[in-house]
Amino acid sequence: MEKPAYVLEFEKPLRELARDLEALHQNSLEHNLDLSVEVKALEKAIEQTRRDIYSNLTPWQRVQIARHPKRPYALDYVGMLCEGFQELHGDRQYNDDRALIGGTAFFNGEAIMIIAQQKGRDTKENIQRNFGMSQPEGYRKALRLMKTAERFKLPVLSFIDTPGAYPGVESEARHVSEAIAVNLREMAMLRVPSIAVVVGEGGSGGALGIGVTDRVLIFENSYYSVISPEGCAAILWKDRAAAPKAAEALKLNAATLEQLGVVDEVLPEPFGGAQNDPAQAAAALKYALLKHFNDLRALDVETLLSSRYDRYRNLGSYEEAGVVHS
């Protein structure tokens, strides 16, 4: 069994069993012993432990998987799903935000516009990408590209993966809230089909800034929330260590989002997370994108806009004493 390069806290029992199996193999080779029975028993224990862990994931454990440093990021999916990606830079006002990228590409032979939040793989790249936290110029670049897509009648595909918009002083000085708000308004009125996919973290307004689309898809171990578990824990319990409790309270579960109508489809992941088989995760995403884009292309512009309006207008409905409120 290949030893994982990065182990989450709840995966440590698997790592210990993997070490035991490796020691058993080594012992068999060094002393020329037949330990096949013991090896088979340990492999069975590893498989059972794996199933026990990944079949009963808590919301907090899913958050950890969503943040896994080996998890496929937006550019990984673009590379597996698209051809001819041409990145476009700058908001034409201030700067080029490398945490939020975009450009044209071909998906299944059709031209589309891609907008994506991108994290880094190491410290150097994470600093360049600002850990996936976009600044105002990122959202304004996204808006520029969406308007370009509308002009050339290109569908828009957004990849969401951010803990939130960057909350620094300079970001606030350049009006990050206003930039996000404008995107919410303009995406609601965009006259081309649009799909957003939450591939990792979907943190608050930072995610919504590129997420007001006709369809919202989410991978089963991703989360989409008004606040991070740590932020919620700091507010409610005055202790970020209460993040697991906050994750439960926030219902950070993709299936719950689908039940509430916040997302339209939950995409299956390879057992243990998309990082274990990125190609399989990409195949599931491709199938879903083809289906939803085909459905959206069949709608005329007015029906598209009306359906999008209804989708978001109906969010937040609740029932009390038999009466539905919205």
Say yes or no: 133 and 35 in one domain: no
Q: Would you say residue 3 lies in a domain?
A: no
E strands, 18-109, are 82-87, 100-107
Say yes or no: 167 and 50 in one domain: no
Q: Find the DSSP H helices in 97-228.
A: 123-129, 136-151, 169-173, 176-188, 204-208
Mean pLDDT within 42-50: 81
Cα–Cα distance measured from residue 214 to residue 195, given in angstroms and rounded to the nearest whole number? 6
pLDDT tier, 288 (very low <50, low <70, confident <90, very high otherwise)? very high
Domain count, the chain: 2
Cα–Cα distance measured from residue 47 to residue 263, given in angstroms and rounded to the nearest whole number? 32
12: Cβ–Cβ under 8 A, 6 or more apart, which residues?
none
Say yes or no: 18 and 132 in one domain: no
Q: Would you say residue 1 lies in a domain?
A: no
The single-letter code of the amino acid at 40 is K
Cα–Cα distance measured from residue 14 to residue 68, given in angstroms and rounded to the nearest whole number? 16
Say yes or no: 70 and 210 in one domain: yes
CATH of the domain at 254: 3.90.226.10
Say yes or no: 156 and 249 in one domain: yes
List pLDDT tens digits, range 66-81: 999 999 999 999 999 9
Q: Would you say residue 115 lies in a domain?
A: yes
Say yes or no: 184 and 291 in one domain: yes
Say yes or no: 90 and 121 in one domain: yes
Say if strands 82-87 and 110-117 run parallel, antiparallel, or are unpaired.
unpaired
Say yes or no: 243 and 98 in one domain: yes
Q: Would you say residue 245 lies in a domain?
A: yes
The single-letter code of the amino acid at 126 is N
pLDDT tier, 18 (very low <50, low <70, confident <90, very high otherwise)? confident
Q: Is the pLDDT of residue 3 over 60?
A: no
pLDDT at site 1: 43
Cα–Cα distance measured from residue 41 to residue 174, given in angstroms and rounded to the nearest whole number? 61
Q: Would you say residue 198 lies in a domain?
A: yes
List pLDDT tens digits, range 149-200: 999 999 999 999 999 999 999 999 999 999 999 999 999 999 999 999 999 9
Say yes or no: 83 and 164 in one domain: yes
pLDDT at site 309: 96
139 or 55, which is more confident:
139
Say yes or no: 85 and 117 in one domain: yes
Q: What are the phi and psi torsion angles at 136 (to 5°)?
A: -55, -40
Which tokens hold the place of 70?
């080996």
Mean pLDDT within 227-243: 93
Q: Would you say residue 325 lies in a domain?
A: no
List pLDDT tens digits, range 75-129: 999 999 999 999 999 999 999 999 999 999 999 999 999 999 999 999 999 999 9
Mean pLDDT within 60-66: 95
pLDDT tier, 5 (very low <50, low <70, confident <90, very high otherwise)? low
Range of the domain at 82: 63-320
Say yes or no: 219 and 297 in one domain: yes
Q: Would you say residue 152 lies in a domain?
A: yes
How far is residue 136 from each of residues 74, 140, 174, 316, measured CA to CA in Å? 20, 6, 6, 27
Q: Would you say residue 222 lies in a domain?
A: yes
159: Cβ–Cβ under 8 A, 6 or more apart, which residues?
74, 77, 78, 114, 115, 116, 117, 196, 197, 199
Say yes or no: 92 and 115 in one domain: yes
Mean pLDDT within 261-284: 95
